[in-house]
Amino acid sequence: MNAQQRREGVLARLSQSERPLSATALAKEFSVSRQIIVGDIALLRAGGQAIDATPRGYLLQRRNQGLNRTIACHHDREGMARELYLCVDNGCTVLDVIVEHPLYGQLAGQLQLASRYDVQQFLEQTDREQAAPLSLLTDGIHLHTLRCPDEEAYQRVCAALREAGILLEESVG
């Protein structure tokens, strides 16, 4: 198998998978190093393929699978788990987190959290790596892009986050 055939194979695996695939897993499958897969993904992206890098691996972007909506949130570090669980429990996928940095402008981290299991894995990785969430750079203010199956799910998430005091909204007055 040459490099082009391997990249086509990697793309095929990504298109068949509903879950992120790690570079390590793809490397084992194609009998190459993890770094070769990282390079293959970079070349596929440079060639126009919409591949997201998530904390759990690579995921091919899917089109027309619900509504994408952006929400503004505010909470401390302890509020992160509650926020993410409320989003997935109400049927939406948390695609990313976005903050406004004074030096770099908009910074985004890909999340792709679609279930309680995904959130739990993300939280465990955060603890294991002792990693600080991006929202700590902005005193807890951040955006999330959500993929919701329909408007009703989006409204449920907003209502739940509002009730929890997490949804950042314009105050009346």
pLDDT in tens, the chain (173 residues): 898 999 999 999 998 988 889 999 999 999 999 999 999 999 998 888 888 887 788 988 776 578 899 999 999 878 999 999 999 999 999 999 999 988 888 999 889 899 999 999 999 999 999 988 888 788 889 999 999 999 999 999 999 999 999 998 864 43
Looking at residue 63, its pLDDT comes to: 62
CATH of the domain at 114: 3.30.1340.20
Residue 146: HSE in the Cβ half-sphere, 13 Å Cα cutoff: 30
Looking at residue 172, its pLDDT comes to: 40
Does residue 49 sit in the same domain as residue 126? Answer: no
Looking at residue 137, its pLDDT comes to: 81
CATH of the domain at 10: 1.10.10.10
Does residue 82 sit in the same domain as residue 7? Answer: no
Of 36, 62, 37, the closest CA to residue 49 belongs to: 62
Looking at residue 54, its pLDDT comes to: 79
Domain that residue 120 falls in? 67-163
Residue 119: inside a domain, yes or no?
yes
Residue 20: inside a domain, yes or no?
yes
Residue 42: inside a domain, yes or no?
yes
Looking at residue 19, its pLDDT comes to: 84
Looking at residue 77, its pLDDT comes to: 79
Of 43, 45, 73, the closest CA to residue 143 belongs to: 73
Looking at the structure of the chain, the number of domains it has is 2
Does residue 17 sit in the same domain as residue 54? Answer: yes
Q: 50, 59 in Cβ contact below 8 A?
A: no
Does residue 45 sit in the same domain as residue 115? Answer: no
Does residue 143 sit in the same domain as residue 87? Answer: yes
pTM: 0.71
Helix, coil or strand: residue 34: helix
Of 83, 101, 106, the closest CA to residue 167 belongs to: 83
Does residue 144 sit in the same domain as residue 85? Answer: yes
